[in-house]
Structure 1
Amino acid sequence: MCALKVRIKFAKEGIMRFIGHLDMMRYFQKAFRRSGIDIQYSQGFSPHQLISFAAPLGVGLTSTGEYMDIVMGNCPSSEEMIRLLNEQMVDDVRILSVVVLPDNSKNAMSIVTTADYKINFREGMEPDFDLKKAIEDFMTQETIMVTKKTKKSEKTMDIKPMIHTFYEEDGGCFMNVDTGSTQNLKPEQVMTTLYKFMGRDFDPFSIFIHRCETYGENFKPLEKYGDIIL
């Protein structure tokens, strides 16, 4: 049987933003079994579904740009796959697209480079400074140094090369930052550093973070690496 690599784009919104990555993996494993699609399993004493996710979404964040790769045997059309899977989804998880990948394609996790994020403020918790001017002044700095703490050490680094786009939008802000296993910058870190630049303390509870899209090299959306299954 010919095995196909398939990339699935999905949205995670509403109350499901509080479900962690491991629970989402188990959720999709059950959804694939219920849908009846021909997902393939690993070999050995403990077979598991051949699923890999792109950059995991943090708890509390919503997204319309999440991806997973699966391996399938018999594969229906993209339209039929979307229907079969969405019949198994809860209201706040939606399958958005399904594409088949070339045989030599790398998995989504290994090619992620950046992601778009939209930041909105909770009512009554907006910044007490001019956000548009603050971001403009913030991004004119030659370097933007931060200290990242781990369990064993501290590391000072320049995050400016990791911020590709950052501007005010509709009372909130939009940013494209490095995401993935090689370089990873969280939107919360950018906002914390912006507030520190303005001489303010940042409250993470003051914002909602939404991931809009996830990209590979040259800002190519991950779904564009494949073709629609006819």
Structure 2
Amino acid sequence: MPRYRVKYSKEGPARYSSHLDMVRAFDRSTRRAGLPVAFSEGFNPHPKFSFASPLPVGIGGGDEYMDMELTRAIAPEELAERLEANMQEGYRVIAVKEIPQGSPALMSLISRAAYRATAPLPLDYAQAELSSAVQNILNFKEIMVTREIKGRRKEIDIRPGLFSLTGRIKEHILEINMELLIGSSGNVRPTEILWEMSRSGGIPLLPEDFRVQRTALYANGPSGPVSLWEV
């Protein structure tokens, strides 16, 4: 059966929907669009969708991916047009392409994600202070966080999963950009980096003061990270 990769965004009110809500939204949209979606077999058949990585509730995504299988081939441009016309508010289909059968699952490809966090600029806070705060975090040999794993609290060093961190002030907005580990080998959450910047980095803001957007998902390529779209 033909398989397609859908590149989409999840913004606005859709940011507050759960992963399960999003799966249902795509199911409704494909039904309204009359797309010949393939379903699994068994007592509880479900559409053959697979998503790259669930977004936490409240975090938007501008470069998200899902794969779907159809029972018959449709031109990618037509699929994108029909699906986009029937998506609910907050979701936008950016592009669709056909991928070979047997291609690796999206979740097995992901190695890192880029995030942008923005917040109103604190009074009298300058670029020099922000640059110093960012460098302070980058100089850390370790960043310990507490995770609950199988009912037990465990200390984890997330510093190896912080690949890049920058900050800038644009008019009255403070912006933090970061690339973090994500996928089968582990995950670093953007809120954990923002908390560390608040706690010991010198930024007078809390994680909840920021609006966070996932801006890109990457796979490991022969010469470095590449967009999932290029895989």
Name the TM-score, length of structure 2 as normaliser: 0.88
Cα deviation 1:42-88 (Å, max 9, x = unaligned) = 12222211111111011111111111111112222222111100110
C-alpha distance in 2 between matches for 1:28 and 1:92: 12
The DSSP-based 3-state class of the residue aligned with 1:36 is coil
CA contact (8 A) 1:51 1:68 kept: yes
Gap regions ≥5 residues in structure 1 = 226-230
Cα deviation 1:8-54 (Å, max 9, x = unaligned) = 11101111111111111111111111111221111222221111111
The DSSP-based 3-state class of the residue aligned with 2:21 is helix
Letter of the structure 1 residue corresponding to residue 158 of structure 2: I
Give the share of equivalent positions with the same residue, in percent.
29
C-alpha distance in 2 between matches for 1:152 and 1:127: 40
Gap regions ≥5 residues in structure 2 = none
- How many Å apart are 1:126 and its aligned residue? 9.4
Q: Residues 59 and 165 from structure 1, CA distance in 2 versus in 1: closer, same or farther, beyond 3 angstroms?
A: same
Question: Aligned pair 1:221/2:227, yes or no?
Answer: yes
Q: Residues 125 and 206 from structure 1, CA distance in 2 versus in 1: closer, same or farther, beyond 3 angstroms?
A: farther
> What's 2:164 paired with?
165
The DSSP-based 3-state class of the residue aligned with 2:29 is helix
**Structure 1 vs Structure 2 CA RMSD:** 2.2
Superposed structure 1 runs of 4+ greater than 3 Å apart: 122-129, 198-202
CA contact (8 A) 2:194 2:206 kept: no
> What's 1:34 paired with?
32
- How many Å apart are 1:158 and its aligned residue? 1.8
C-alpha distance in 2 between matches for 1:183 and 1:127: 34
- How many Å apart are 1:150 and its aligned residue? 4.3
The DSSP-based 3-state class of the residue aligned with 2:92 is strand
Cα deviation 1:115-147 (Å, max 9, x = unaligned) = 110010146589789221111121012222223
C-alpha distance in 1 between matches for 2:164 and 2:48: 35
Q: Residues 35 and 142 from structure 1, CA distance in 2 versus in 1: closer, same or farther, beyond 3 angstroms?
A: same
CA contact (8 A) 1:116 1:175 kept: yes
> What's 2:19 paired with?
21
CA contact (8 A) 1:99 1:223 kept: no
CA contact (8 A) 1:52 1:107 kept: yes
Name the TM-score, length of structure 1 as normaliser: 0.88
- How many Å apart are 1:199 and its aligned residue? 6.2
C-alpha distance in 2 between matches for 1:199 and 1:147: 21
- How many Å apart are 1:206 and its aligned residue? 0.4
> What's 1:111 paired with?
109
Question: Aligned pair 1:55/2:50, yes or no?
Answer: no
Q: Residues 20 and 126 from structure 1, CA distance in 2 versus in 1: closer, same or farther, beyond 3 angstroms?
A: farther
CA contact (8 A) 1:192 1:201 kept: no
Which protein is richer in strand relative to its size? 2
Letter of the structure 1 residue corresponding to residue 57 of structure 2: V
C-alpha distance in 1 between matches for 2:201 and 2:25: 42
C-alpha distance in 1 between matches for 2:106 and 2:145: 29
> What's 1:96 paired with?
94
C-alpha distance in 1 between matches for 2:208 and 2:220: 32
Letter of the structure 1 residue corresponding to residue 134 of structure 2: I
Cα deviation 1:201-226 (Å, max 9, x = unaligned) = 8533200001111112232211212x
Letter of the structure 2 residue corresponding to residue 220 of structure 1: V
2:189 corresponds to which of 183, 186, 206: 186
